[in-house]
Structure 1
Amino acid sequence: MSIIQNALSGSLAAQAALNTASQNIANVMTPGYTRQGVLLVAAKPSQAGSMGAGDGVKVPALQRFSDGYKSLQLWNAASELGQRESVQPYLGQLEQVMGDEASSLNAGLDQFFGALNAASVEPTSSPLRRQIVTAADALAQRFNSLHQVLSNQRASIYQQRLASVAQINTLSVDIAALNREISATRASGLNPSGLMDERDQKIDALAGQVGIQVVEQADGSRNVLLRSGQPLVVGNAASTIVAQGQPDGTQKLVLSFASESFTLATDRLGGPLGGLQDFEQRVLGPLVASVREMAEAISTRFNDQLAAGYAMDGSAGAPLFSFDASAADGLLQVDTSLSADALGFSADPAQPGNSDNLLELIELRQQPVTLSSLGDVLLRDAYTQLVGKIGTDSQQNQTALKTAQTVRNQAEESWKSTSGVNSDEEAINLMQYQQMYQANMKVIAVANQLFDSTLAMLA
């Protein structure tokens, strides 16, 4: 009977292997599916003595071909790619808008100072003076348009951050629920591979939103932490992240887990959440401040210099610009109804045709201004350097984005080399396990013949 038992165990093992191969082939195109295989172990002989060859073969468990290191590399690559992808549209828009002649501040400054230079030839000309007011208004509108673009970007970032936070919270809850299911499935003796695949996909999606660390637990669950150590998922419990608006217009991220709350550091978030935070703090915020500082410097310096001169009637020069960073209709305004004769171009109230103060106004372009993103720079060079900085930031991010995409692609191929289904390999497995099954059935047939022959001899 030991021959039949051995062959029966072999045929059952071959059936398990064929069933596993068929499952792999059925899921050859299923995203995130991890291939499985049978773990075959020779059964120890139960008969005493040297003649006990063994009791066949056992299949103690199915083997899930998963490499924790390769999965971690895949998730890290997803975080880096998400971080670079999230900010490139904003950098590209800034590069295009700021470099466009139709919206360039440099073009507006050129037109404004060109009007000043033209008026210096004939300071008493009303049309030339009026042209200065018109050019000043056009310059102010360029500042306001650019400032509006930057404000729209900040509003878009806030909405995108809220959406990312909501997705992180949802994925954390899903992963915690899958942890509970996997632990219960393993405890009941069932195969949790499908649930583990689903959880890995959720973790990959989570890594696409924020940088994470993953810690495997003995019961099959996985704890998921932020790079800074705060928990997103611990066992079957999930945390919640909230983006709180601040008085200065920024947002603060607060993570709540159990009865504890943590304010998240912004320097190690990773993923789109970290990319948006980094872009806002390192690029957008300083750029907004620099545009405001340029507008304020132009308004203050020109108004002060005009006030030091005299209008056509000998009175003190009237202000040309008005600056208000909080104004709903734009941070820089020009009163287009201002009389052109009220501009204080003369340094002598008794000489309306004097242009000394006008020349001082022209020289303001050569004076330095202090900008948050550049430091001290000449007014004439400020915008060019701002555009150059944005171009450099965009180019660096594009290069990093290409690298991140390559790393992600390589990580996916590396993961597939271990966990992905290979149709050719599974076809070979089918043939081998089919032969294994047929051979064991042949052994059973031989054993039956021997048994029948033995009975015939005893009859």
Structure 2
Amino acid sequence: MSLINIAMSGLNANSVALNVTAQNVANINTPGYSRQQAVMASVAGSVGNSLSAGMGVEVTSIRRITDGFVVKQVWSTNSSAAFASSFHTSMSQLENTLSADGLNLSSGLDSLFAALNEATTKPESQPLRQQVINEAEALARRFNALNDAMHSQHKDMHDQRNASIAHGNSLLSNIADINSQLMAVQGTGGSAAQLLDTRDALIGELAMVVDIRTTEQPDGSLQVTLASGQPLVMGGEAGQLKAVTHSNDAYMADIHVEFGPQSFAVSSNVGGGLGAISQYQTEVLKPNQVAINDMAKGLADEVNAVLATGIDLNGNPGAPLFTYDPSNPANSLTITDVTADDLAFSSDGNEGNSDVLKALIELSNKPMAITGYGNVSLNDAFTSMVGDVAIKSRQAAADFEANSAMNKDAITQRNNLSAVSSDEEAGNLMVFANAHNANMKVISTANELFDSVLQLF
């Protein structure tokens, strides 16, 4: 009987819908899960029979509720938020480093010149001369400690880059593998919902490493490239990110993409957390390291040059106070084995004459060539550095807050569209269960009618 066949189609269709709803409810707490929906269509009646209402219903597909534009917004904001987070963290660390009591060069310079000023009251005084040596040594140690702190962060950036590249390459391989599975599923007509959710999640993670662009392919795969165009994933094939170390700095590197036998240099910023590392090293940390080295070299050269014009208490030409390795002045700056008597504060060896000592004091305001800051005094150079880093740190914090908010909004928009709603699914369970029971009632009614017909014979 057509009545039973129609009811059976409704029974089967609503059973599928109930299974889909059950799958949604089971994954209500699964990160990245996109809810599904059974798409139903009426089955047409017999051709040429004007009295046929139709042949029931069928499930034409199970639709994955998602929106490509919304998903790409999540990926894009993932990249921006990861970049902002990494850059903000690095800037905050540098700001804290420069403001630390034991690393503040301005305090060390002030203490050294204060000791020199105090020595003018009695230039021949052994304790006052020794105090100058002590403050010079303390200042050298500040340079050493600040250089070590910056170098440590520089190495941390290098380690983070290697870790990010390793993570990114693992994601690329996994995405290519999912692409291969999706191409196979498309060929057999199987369900691809779980694979698509997995791929979306992997690409979302990759976007935190580097800024990416994606293009859907007819075979079901997704082509992934860097924002600057270099290929990362093509079908079932994955490229590899690689750091090419600078010849003059083992902790600096350029990013390349190796795809098969080809290697592509990435000239622009790669974005994401990896891009933040490179930009911070290149635009902030490295220039400040160079400036600190210039300051250490300038201090040592100028002080030693002035002392060389004087005569010490023993009648000998002035000996240098500072020494350093020209390849890394801030790291190696230290005092010589000079004694209090060796400090040449006088141009004629007269104990009461302090003309050289006064020339040393004048160095506090002498402009020196500091890379990135021009010709300024050492104190002004360091103060400018601290101020510049503070401004950049505040801007990085603001960028982090803004990009994090945009990322949260994009994720919320995606969840509003694709995530499972317990209220909605509860309603669906009632609708499909009632429809299922109604079709069972139709079958029961059809059986009763059939039995009644049989009783007539």
Q: TM-score range by the shorter chain?
A: over 0.9
Other structure's SS at 1:225 match = strand
| Letter paired with 1:263 | A
Identity of aligned residues (%): 38
Other structure's SS at 1:384 match = helix
Other structure's SS at 1:46 match = coil
Q: Which structure 1 residue ranges, 5 or more long, are not aligned?
A: none
Q: CA deviation at 1:201?
A: 1.1
Q: 1:169/1:24 Cα in 2 relative to 1: closer, same or farther (>3 Å)?
A: same
Contact 2:293 2:329 in 1 (8 A): no
- Listed as ranges, the matches of 1:367-382 within 5 Å are 367-382=366-381
Contact 1:10 1:56 in 2 (8 A): yes
Q: CA deviation at 1:40?
A: 0.9
Q: 1:71/1:157 Cα in 2 relative to 1: closer, same or farther (>3 Å)?
A: same
Other structure's SS at 1:102 match = helix
The match for 1:291 is 292
- Listed as ranges, the matches of 1:285-364 within 5 Å are 285-326=286-327, 330-335=331-336, 337-349=337-349, 351-364=350-363
| Letter paired with 1:355 | S
Contact 1:266 1:278 in 2 (8 A): no
The match for 1:253 is 255
Contact 1:266 1:274 in 2 (8 A): no
Other structure's SS at 1:98 match = helix
- 2 CA distance for matches of 1:422 and 1:179? 29
Q: CA deviation at 1:329?
A: 9.7
- 1 CA distance for matches of 2:229 and 2:432? 47
* 2:160 equivalent to 1:164: no
The match for 1:438 is 437
Q: CA deviation at 1:56?
A: 1.4
- 2 CA distance for matches of 1:28 and 1:430? 14
- 1 CA distance for matches of 2:326 and 2:177? 49
Other structure's SS at 1:37 match = strand
Contact 2:228 2:268 in 1 (8 A): no
- Listed as ranges, the matches of 1:207-246 within 5 Å are 207-246=207-246
More deviation, 325-334/145-154: 325-334
Contact 1:179 1:236 in 2 (8 A): yes
Q: 1:54/1:372 Cα in 2 relative to 1: closer, same or farther (>3 Å)?
A: farther
- 2 CA distance for matches of 1:307 and 1:35? 80
The match for 2:24 is 24
Q: 1:73/1:61 Cα in 2 relative to 1: closer, same or farther (>3 Å)?
A: same
The match for 1:180 is 180
* 2:196 equivalent to 1:196: yes
The match for 1:55 is 55
| Letter paired with 2:257 | L
Contact 2:308 2:319 in 1 (8 A): yes
- Compute the RMSD of aligned alpha carbons: 1.7
Q: CA deviation at 1:284?
A: 0.3
Contact 1:182 1:221 in 2 (8 A): yes
Q: CA deviation at 1:18?
A: 0.3
More deviation, 160-169/202-211: 202-211
Deviation track 1:61-107 (CA, whole Å, cap 9, x = no partner) reads 10000111111111111111211222333322222222122321111
* 2:77 equivalent to 1:77: yes
- 1 CA distance for matches of 2:116 and 2:68? 69
Other structure's SS at 1:175 match = helix
Q: 1:328/1:188 Cα in 2 relative to 1: closer, same or farther (>3 Å)?
A: farther
Q: CA deviation at 1:327?
A: 5.7
- 2 CA distance for matches of 1:311 and 1:90? 47
* 2:451 equivalent to 1:449: no
In the alignment of these two chains, the number of paired residues is 455
More deviation, 399-408/443-452: 443-452
Other structure's SS at 1:224 match = strand
- Listed as ranges, the matches of 1:54-203 within 5 Å are 54-203=54-203
Query: TM (normalized to structure 1)?
Result: 0.95
Other structure's SS at 2:46 match = coil
- 1 CA distance for matches of 2:355 and 2:375? 27
Runs of 4+ residues deviating >4 angstroms: none
- 2 CA distance for matches of 1:219 and 1:2? 40
Contact 1:147 1:291 in 2 (8 A): yes
Query: TM (normalized to structure 2)?
Result: 0.96
| Letter paired with 2:428 | N
More deviation, 96-105/236-245: 96-105
